[in-house]
Amino acid sequence: MQRRKVNSTSSKDGSMQSGSKHQWTTTEDAKLVECLVDMANSGPTWRAENGFKSGYLLELERNMLEKIPGCKLRAQPHIENKYRLLKKQYGAIADLLGQGSGFGWDDRYKSLVCDPDIFQGWVKGHPGAAGLRNKPFPHYDDLAHVFGKDRATGFSAEGPSDTAQTVDREEAEENEDLYDTNDSLASTQGPPVAASLASTQGPPIARSSDNPSGTSTSTSTKRKKGKKSDPVFMQLVDNLSNMGKVYEGATESMKKLAETFKHEADGAGR
């Protein structure tokens, strides 16, 4: 039996090529992504509605040869297969991160992190995501620029780290809106609400330094409040109030008594 001889060659950086199969190196990966980013930045020259215009694979082959002299990668099948794989992996990660709950992104190691059980449950319905957990995918941010516009998920237009910053900014804006709402309530509901806010937010130190007289006014107000809350003072007020009521009653009785005497005097004169 004759054995079929397979022609294989060794590339300059040591990668092996055999027919349609090729083991990509990290350098080749990086240069291909650079070429894709350049092509994406070319605008209408190569950009199409759902990807790139016809002939983009041959253009990538030429660009790869410029970046890696002696590169033997061909538009088909090498570059085409790698392009499809990168797009598939990027899409799977973007979908996972778009779920929000249970999936995260390690920006330091550029890898997807999540609970193993959650990931296995996801892979059952999305086989393309298999093997992506904790696997470095260093070109995610660049590929988001390349493939992001081709996807309907709003998340894919920005990288994971950018998304985290966006969430923080939105939360900060929500907090600012909350503070604005509190200020609005203070202005519409009157002094009690304003006083309550003042007690929780502390003294207006900056304002008191701008207006020295504010200190004496505040002290005077505290003294007035102190007098009103003094039990001896309050008892004195109550006593005076009671004396006033007694005086009013005595005046009324004396008035009636005087009218009686007058009536009797008028009767005796007749």
Q: What is the pTM of this model?
A: 0.51
**Other CB atoms within 10 Å distance of the CB of residue 17:** 17
Of 95, 102, 103, which Cα lies nearest the Cα of 153?
Answer: 95
Of 34, 64, 24, which Cα lies nearest the Cα of 139?
Answer: 34
Domain ranges for the chain = 15-157, 159-201
| Structure confidence at residue 89 (pLDDT) | 93
CA dihedral 58, 18, 140, 109 (to 10 degrees): -150
Per-residue pLDDT of the chain (270 residues; tens, 9 = 90+): 444 443 444 444 444 444 678 899 999 999 999 999 999 999 999 999 888 999 999 999 999 999 999 999 999 999 999 999 999 999 999 988 988 778 999 999 999 999 999 999 888 988 888 899 999 999 999 999 999 876 643 443 344 444 444 444 444 444 444 344 344 434 434 433 333 333 334 333 344 444 444 444 444 454 544 444 566 667 776 777 767 665 566 666 666 666 765 666 566 555
| Structure confidence at residue 137 (pLDDT) | 95
| Structure confidence at residue 156 (pLDDT) | 36
Residue matched to tokens 């990931």: 119
Spatial distance between the Cα atoms of 198 and 243, rounded to a whole number of angstroms? 40
| Structure confidence at residue 128 (pLDDT) | 80
Secondary structure letter of residue 21 according to DSSP = E
Q: Burial code of 99-118, b = ≥16 C-beta within 10 A, e = fewer?
A: eeeebebeeeebbbebeeee
| Structure confidence at residue 101 (pLDDT) | 74
- Whether residue 132 contacts residue 89, with contact meaning beta carbons closer than 8 Å, is answered with yes
